């Protein structure tokens, strides 16, 4: 459905843009399963065992509709403390890097645990996202594990009981196709507040994350600019005429113009005209634009 609530200031920019638009699926589409995780920052948790050190007694993996899951089973009355982050897997006693299949490594460190029978565990499920699982050893109450992944995607950590276990979910690759048609979406935020733009290299595409400091999304318009075929226009329109703001860091190829009527225009300069896809993610509110390489 075409959105028609843009004010005159935003509509005046439409002449720069290519015609047509594409729709996108919600990042947390319906279904009985959990939504795909989106967090990529490190996650930590405290130990729950009241008896001290616990033992890692099993490792399982499975593929779900929107994510791959690895489950670490523990005995001893609880779960250990943990830290999960994108970092290389290293031998816990040696510090030597242990190679994992796939271009991204997710490292898991358990504190207050041992692994008497699993310290050399390895599995290679070769799911589209989860490629490999390895343990890097156990030493002095710490166990280190690594997940080899197809990309640095969103993940989450769940602490579960009966039996005590820790699950690590890693999102599948986005399923939206790349295209060059205009995309429109968003919601009804009163004002545009861009708090920064982050850039990341991924296998096959470049990712631009526009962080927004509003709970809702403004109206958003993404399209290639006619006059500059390799420039992607990113338009934001608030529901009031309150002047928007752009703060924080941004890549050198991303620029902005702020207008007095409540609209903000962003521009991504690319090396060539390639397909893009758009995702709206929440908690925190952010716009993700992937540009195919």
**What does the alpha-carbon distance between residue 45 and residue 72 come to, in Å, rounded to a whole number?**
14
Residue 187 has pLDDT above 80, yes or no: yes
Spatial CB neighbours of 133, under 8 Å, sequence gap ≥ 6: 59, 61, 70, 121, 122, 123, 124, 125, 145, 146, 147, 148
Residue 225 has pLDDT above 90, yes or no: yes
**pLDDT computed for residue 26 by the predictor:** 27
**What does the alpha-carbon distance between residue 191 and residue 33 come to, in Å, rounded to a whole number?**
34
Q: Taking the CB of residue 209, how many other CB atoms lie within 10 A of it?
A: 17
**What does the alpha-carbon distance between residue 140 and residue 89 come to, in Å, rounded to a whole number?**
18
Per residue in 83-126, pLDDT (tens digit) is 999 999 999 888 899 999 998 899 999 999 999 999 889 999 99
CA 286 from chain centre, in angstroms, equals 10
**What does the alpha-carbon distance between residue 167 and residue 45 come to, in Å, rounded to a whole number?**
12
**pLDDT computed for residue 9 by the predictor:** 40
**pLDDT computed for residue 27 by the predictor:** 29
Residue 145 has pLDDT above 90, yes or no: yes
Share of residues in the chain with pLDDT > 70 (%):
89
**What does the alpha-carbon distance between residue 221 and residue 142 come to, in Å, rounded to a whole number?**
49
The two three-digit tokens of residue 152, written as one number: 């640095």
**pLDDT computed for residue 33 by the predictor:** 73
- Average pLDDT value for the chain: 87
Spatial CB neighbours of 152, under 8 Å, sequence gap ≥ 6: 40, 86, 104, 200, 202
């Amino acid at each position: 459905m075409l959105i028609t609530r843009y004010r005159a200031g935003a509509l005046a920019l439409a002449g720069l843009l290519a015609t047509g638009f594409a729709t996108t699926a919600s990042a947390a589409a319906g279904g009985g399963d959990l939504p795909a995780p989106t967090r990529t920052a490190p996650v930590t948790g405290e130990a729950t065992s009241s008896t001290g050190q616990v033992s890692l007694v099993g490792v399982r993996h499975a593929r779900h509709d929107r994510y791959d899951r690895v489950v670490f089973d523990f005995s001893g009355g609880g779960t250990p403390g943990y830290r999960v982050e994108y970092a290389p897997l290293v031998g816990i006693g040696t510090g030597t890097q242990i190679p994992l299949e796939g271009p991204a490594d997710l490292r898991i460190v358990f504190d207050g645990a041992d692994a008497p029978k699993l310290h050399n565990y390895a599995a290679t499920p070769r799911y589209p996202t989860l490629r490999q699982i390895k343990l890097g050893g156990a030493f002095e109450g710490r166990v280190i594990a690594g997940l080899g992944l197809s990309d640095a995607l969103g993940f989450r950590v769940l602490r579960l009981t009966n039996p005590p276990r820790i699950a690590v979910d890693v999102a599948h690759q986005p399923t939206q196709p790349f295209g060059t048609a205009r995309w429109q979406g968003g919601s009804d935020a009163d004002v545009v507040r861009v708090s920064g733009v982050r850039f990341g290299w991924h296998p096959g595409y470049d990712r631009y994350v526009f962080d927004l400091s509003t709970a809702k999304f403004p109206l958003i318009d993404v399209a290639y600019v006619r006059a500059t075929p390799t420039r992607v226009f990113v338009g934001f329109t608030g529901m009031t005429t309150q002047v928007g703001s752009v703060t924080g860091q941004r890549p050198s190829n991303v620029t902005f113009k702020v207008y007095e009527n409540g609209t903000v225009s962003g521009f991504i300069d690319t090396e060539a005209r390639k397909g893009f896809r758009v995702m709206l993610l929440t908690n925190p509110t952010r716009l993700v634009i992937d540009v195919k390489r």
